[in-house]
A and B are shown apart, each in its own frame.
Chain A
Amino acid sequence: MHDTKSHSDDAPPSTWKRGDALTESGIPDDKGSSIVARAVTINRPVAEVFAYFRDFANLPTFMENVERIDILSDTRSHWVVKAPAGKTVEWDAVVTEQTQDSVIAWRSEPGADVANSGRVEFRDAGARGTVVTATIAYDPPAGIVGKLIAKMFQREPAIQARRDLRRFKQLMETGEIATAAMNRKQHEEELA
């Protein structure tokens, strides 16, 4: 998959205990100092999974903290994302790599509130559907303190990425996103 010459095993770079995971993970530039990778297997054909993800306007349906994404052009989009204490952070993102049914990579443009870049790989897994692996690098706002605050509010990307991928899987496989809300009022409060 990736060049892992600096490492002797086959583990994904994002799980390395040593070595330069950032440069070897295949994400564009190396925007950001924190890296997180999550994988999920979705029991749907790769073409369907890729097509849904590639339309960035769909992402807020399962990315809990993404308030909205404005499509600016075929490769550029504007992201508005919830942050701790009722604030939002914004950036413009540009798609840096795209291979049909296989890869989408992006990075934020200069001036981003949170510099970030990412790469999502889609792999046909036969009878099991599609393996989706998301690798995201980001600069936590205000360094370590910002990361701690973010964690408190559960907006920390490592947690968020895992939950977002689970919601993506639920939506693709079941047509809806599981909730324990007893009624619509509770459900709206959950999503707020």
Chain B
Amino acid sequence: MRALAWHGKHDVRVDTVDDPEIVNPRDCIIKVTATAICGSDLHLYDGYIPTMRAGDILGHEFMGEVVEVGAKSTLKKGQKVVVPFTIACGSCYHCGKHQYSACDNGLPADNQDIAQELYGQPMSGLFGYSHMTGGYAGGQAEYVRVPFSDVGPIVIPDGVEDEKVLFLSDILPTGWMAAENAEIEPGDTVAVWGCGPVGLFAVQSAFLMGAERVIAIDHFPHRLELAKKFGAETINYKESAVYEALMVMTGGIGPDAVIDSVGLEAHGFFVDNVLDQIKASTFLGTDRAHSIRQAIIACRKGGRVSMPAVYGGFIDKFPLGALMEKGLTLKTGQTHVQHYMPALLNAIMEGKIDTTFLISHRMDLEDAPKGYDMFKNNQNEVTKVVLKPGFN
């Protein structure tokens, strides 16, 4: 089959590789009908994520048709499914608590060592996201082996367009969980850093959860326009001072909840960012984290900090004092996708949430390297690239 493989920093290629097969009884094989490039794929593209190997197949947002099932899969050939990016078993203690991204059994035993050393305990597996998260081949391919297919993939009713439901795989539940972690109360003002897909879904979700005002922060005018369409007020940090603007806009209080959906590659010429970038590129290994620092400082006393953004290692100059002294609550984590998919599928079917506005580009899988380059270098206009095998 054809698949998008990582070969190094800014070097991804569509290669011909072996087809996947059923290996374990709970597996299924899907024929991919649509897959997307995620903002977090850019962290791989930019070489920020350790434990990548040449030839690794990328992609963790994908859906398709079931073409083969293992003996213990509950799926049927021909069903259309969206696959969660988190690989979780459904039967361990954490899955029982719906903490799917903390699944004990999603990672192969040998791949658990790195996360155990780095984080204390290993997390769930992820598709197409380095060997630390399992080394599973990803979905930017014609076919994918999906483990635990009896508990992960969600079956999509006949006749629903792929593009309406594809984002159930990651970014829609991630934006939703980000808003949920912000513990929004009616009348709240919520500030969202980053108007990428997760940030934009967090804006929509925050309003659905009762926020009175959402203030969206970015520097790409087109992305801020999209946030505005959903009713958000905006701050362009290249044109205005973020903390000062937030304080005036909230009557000197600060936002009740703040959401960082930017993460380890925050843009901007801030002193801490520049230092972080030098360290990261020289393997001193700190994440670039301006957005989370700014969010914590801006948040009102006793407020909530939600951090859906991806961080992998250590950060310097974390404002721990502000977190403590102001009595903030910080909630974060990889998304428990399986927990959110059924309700969000309903919300899509009922027309409460629109996801298709996000898609700016559609391409054949063969053109995926071009898609990465465009997504990386023109983030203003390229909000989401959807890849379709056989599109041309």
Interface residues of chain A, those whose CB is within 8 Å of chain B, are: 41, 43, 64, 128-129, 154, 159, 162-164, 166-167, 169-170, 173-187
Contact = CB atoms under 8 A, between A and B. Distances in A.
Contact of A178 (B17, B20, B107): B107
Given A166-B112, A177-B109, 19 more contacts: A43-B92, A169-B104, A174-B89, A174-B90, A174-B91, A174-B92, A176-B26, A177-B108, A178-B89, A178-B106, A178-B108, A178-B109, A179-B108, A180-B136, A181-B23, A182-B145, A183-B19, A184-B23, A185-B18
B2 to A, nearest CB: 14
A169 B21 contact: no
B53 to A, nearest CB: 11
Contact of B105 (A129, A159, A169, A187): A169
Interface residues of B, number: 36
Interface string B66-99: 0000001000000000000001011111001000
Contacts of B135: 180
Given A170-B105, A182-B18, A182-B145, A176 B25 contact: yes
A166 B91 contact: no
Contact of A170 (B20, B25, B87, B109): B109
A43 B95 CA distance: 11
B137 A182 contact: yes
A98 B100 CA distance: 37
B20 A43 contact: no
B20 A183 contact: yes
Among A64, A181, A182, A187, the most chain B Cβ lie within 10 Å of the Cβ of A182
Contact of B96 (A43, A163, A175, A183): A43
Given A175-B72, A182-B20, A183-B20, A129 B134 contact: no
Interface in B97-142: 104-113, 116, 125, 134-137
B294 interface: no
A154 B96 CA distance: 33
A173 B18 contact: no
A17 B222 CA distance: 59
A184 B70 CA distance: 13
B24 interface: yes
Contacts of A178: 24, 87, 89, 105-109, 125, 134, 147
